[in-house]
Structure 1
């Protein structure tokens, strides 16, 4: 399964899902949960305890918009792909105005362009960026952009759903005020949770925002300090998902983050070299813009993306992802995340493609 998410879960994660389910009010589970939060804090390299929300990462992204964006806020939405584009709907729902800086979906956001927009619109107070938009296979220079946003004094929301744990990106080193990721991508766990780092400055803005959700499934505030001893959970947590996350974090720490990032990068490099060797074209205009966690390539002229995807599955047992939105029908996407980030899998994929493309595709 070389999809762009969910990805194959590591064996340790699958084993953890079978553990007995504890009562969430039991002191033993509450102590265990606090330990998982601490492991996640260390993995994210953040000073504050992160929030674990009970729903896949779209919940965390919408919750961030609802909490941080006030009705008087002007939001700069940076768009280089389908998911970046989609954030505008939430920004418009909660804010005063959305300014869009967009590039073609085979390009990346230029930090200088961000600087220019902020200079022309000093009233921009919140900036949103998708670090790696999987339907494009590109990765944006979030560190450079974050430094520019911080200098402007705006708040930065980073969607790192498909990049964290697959490359060296962490909330504080990219100046993210809210940083959202998922256990079901590069951490190699299962879908069902949103992992969110919130900085002190962002917490202050959220708590001062009268429209930030309270008493709601979307409430970030409700989950703040949820790991404190004796504190009640806002809703019943998914115990099995917490077990799975714990196992994934242990595996990440045991292999070593830098080794995990290297493994992802090497797998993507093998895939790119193999695709180019077959005479295929990468979707991003420059190879330097390609993400180490997913490789998007153009479907050859005269061939259906669905037909090529289905041949890979039926003839070779390999499942990849189709394009989405503006890239639908134009590309296929090979995921290199978590357990699928192995150079051997990329070589197998290239061999299968070579076989299929040597024959007529019906």
Structure 2
């Protein structure tokens, strides 16, 4: 028996109405979850949005909102999982890559964040938002607002010359404009001693630019400069490139020196390469040097190994220098750094040494 056409139409309309009502219900639950997240009630937000994703596992907006809940509530690992689903559902949409880059940033996985931001730029993502995240990655801020450290620096010579020894205690604070670090040092060279205080600032400037402004003053200036000032401007460019220029003024009791330097750096995945060319005018003794840094990051930017080396001339004498540094955070807030160096100056005893540093963040 053939069913009347109006009965079939009614059944179709009923199915469409039920589907529409279900979609509207999911949209409503998602909107409610977003409201809870914006108000800071992350538990209720998670419950509402998880309900939506269970009912429709291909609802990309819901997965994106869930990632935001995890990111805002300090759970970037879970945020990564949600944003990965968003990217899988919408691989040509830049928003998922930008969001995942934020989670990588919070996990201190800066190389992965850069990769996602590069993809977002290719897809025409919001340039202002991308540049804002890149600025955070370029300056490499500390993972916590406060950081304290203590460092011992020991240097010895190939001749009978007495060793050098220095101790430095520092306190660093991250703030909206960048970071400020206060250092107190005591140094011993041969039979002389010096004490100094330094203020080291990293300050955000314009788009993808920041500055390092540092001043150190010695109390007695027996061998340290009475005044030691440095200004360096950094500018990010393209995908992973950074250029900078610096000026340093050293005021010794019997003389003064001006130093100029330019830098070119590149981030490639977990690797960071930086070249430096410096120059000291003839009226300050004259000199120049070329230096190369090569750094490899571990699972985050807090764990790394760095190699450096260079050559040049100082007061008409050839010199070369090499170094290696290893930094590892053994716990989330506690890290150690060890480095070794070697320097050879023509007609002067060669110098080699090491430094040991402990860092604590809170």
Fold conserved (TM > 0.5)?
no
Pair member with larger Rg: 2
TM-score class, shorter-chain normalisation, is under 0.3
TM-score (norm 1): 0.26
If asked which structure has higher relative contact order (CA below 8 Å, sep 6+), I would say 1
Structure with the higher helix share, 1 or 2: 1
* TM-score of the superposed pair, with normalisation by structure 2: 0.26
